[in-house]
Amino acid sequence: MGNVGLTSDTSYCADGLFAADRTPHPQAFELKKVIQPVDFEAVTFSANSVRITNRLDFTDLDQFSFRWFIRSNGKNIAEGELPVGSIAPHQRKVVALPVPAIKPMPGAEYFLTIVASTRYATPAVPAGHPAAWEQFLLPVHAAAATVQAGTNTLTVQEDQQQVKISDGDAEIIFSRQTGWLSAYAWKQAPIMQSALEPHFWRAATDNDIGNSQQMRCAVWKDVLQTARLDSMRIGKSDRQVTVRTWHSLPAVKAVYIAEYAIQPGGVINITVAMKTGRERLPELPRFGMRMRLHGAFDEVTWLGRGPFDNYADRNTAAAVDVYRMKADRLFHPYPRAQESGYRTDVRWMTLANASGVGLTATGSPLISTGVLHFDMDRLEFDRHAKENNHGGSMVNEDLVWWNIDYKQMGVGGDNSWGATPHAAYILPYRDYGYSFTLNPALK
């Protein structure tokens, strides 16, 4: 991939499903999922039944054992064996599931997973290997409890430079010059290293380069360089301080409106919207916000799809569950360094330090999130550089980059020489908006 004086297809020479050391890339899991030999389908108007289809040409499904389990918030609620018996090739059967009645906890979701595993060992595959699975969100729920605000009194201090809102525990600062949320501290310990700002760009993937996305969509890379704060208003009540900002984004002919509702206990309900004009502009690589946290906040926990990299058009193999890992493990070292560290259908994500203190972002209802243990700019593609950056060459910096998005466009892959992601996974130039909540994470 480096400049060795020879014509080369660079990363396309090492762009398979597995790395050179035989570890799978995230897309390997996706391929395994979409070609799995067994289909599972919920039966309409039938309680606790699933239709199982044998996609194989010659093998009966009696060669597999089946089990089921129900999880909620990262814990098993119930589990058991599923007697399926014989299903001939290209045949199907409706099977009753012995699912118990569930008394839902407020705000909790319950996911049923069915797994088909090999019953016997072969020269290539051991016994007990999961060959197919499916996850279903069960239709049981109870109304979610809202994030509880604290009982302390909010105070507001304003000057020409900033607006400081505090309650004795949390200290939240907005810049008067930019209008952005610029600092968050808990008990005088700063968590944020940079402001929470709108973000529309992503580091180019191999497929992006193939369809010239990084050039076609370049207008979205540096939108904030020409952003102008038009208005900033502060509203105060006994239990809430509201900050409303209006920005002009002349580079993309749009207006950006943000509202931050701050409550005692460091709770911030954030709602943002972008109003676009009538011009014809290219698609957005992403619509979201980003900030940098101090490097110590590298313990990541989330409820969403995982554990590996996943995107809107590449996430069927990523089950919804609670996952925990270090910030640098969310990044996948593709042969050429590029967009990575992303997770979709996130209910909430927490970034905390070793003491368990940090920030939690909760979607209303869902967000997509990206985490890197270095500045995302290091992933930028430069076609004039003497060498490409290898994914394995990335090293941690004293920061954690955190994207909290509405969505990011898909990664595509029909081919790598011109095809864009499918229309359902593109963010066309139009109005967008979303909401999420930030609150302190306390052990």
In this predicted structure, what is the pLDDT of residue 10?
66
pLDDT in tens, 25-39: 999 999 999 999 999
Which of 31-40, 41-50, 174-183 is the least confident region? 41-50
Which residue type does 112 have? Answer: L
In this predicted structure, what is the pLDDT of residue 8?
59
pLDDT in tens, 134-175: 999 999 888 877 766 777 899 999 999 999 999 999 999 999
In the structure encoding, which two tokens stand for residue 202, read together?
Answer: 């992503």
**Phi and psi based region of residue 36 (left: phi greater than 0; alpha: psi -120 to 50; beta: remaining):** beta
Residue with tokens 């560290």: 341
Judge contact between 313 and 412, C-beta under 8 A.
yes
For 34, phi then psi, to 5°, come to -75, -20
Q: Is the pLDDT of residue 45 over 80?
A: no
Determine the Cα–Cα distance for residues 38 and 99; give it in Å rounded to an integer: 21
Domains in the chain with CATH codes: 36-137 (2.60.40.10), 155-441 (2.70.98.10)
Q: Where are the beta strands (DSSP E) in 203-357?
A: 228-236, 241-249, 254-263, 267-276, 286-294, 299-306, 319-326, 342-352
Q: No. of H helices and E strands in the chain?
A: 3, 24
Query: pTM for this structure?
Result: 0.95
Question: pLDDT band for position 330 (50/70/90)?
Answer: very high
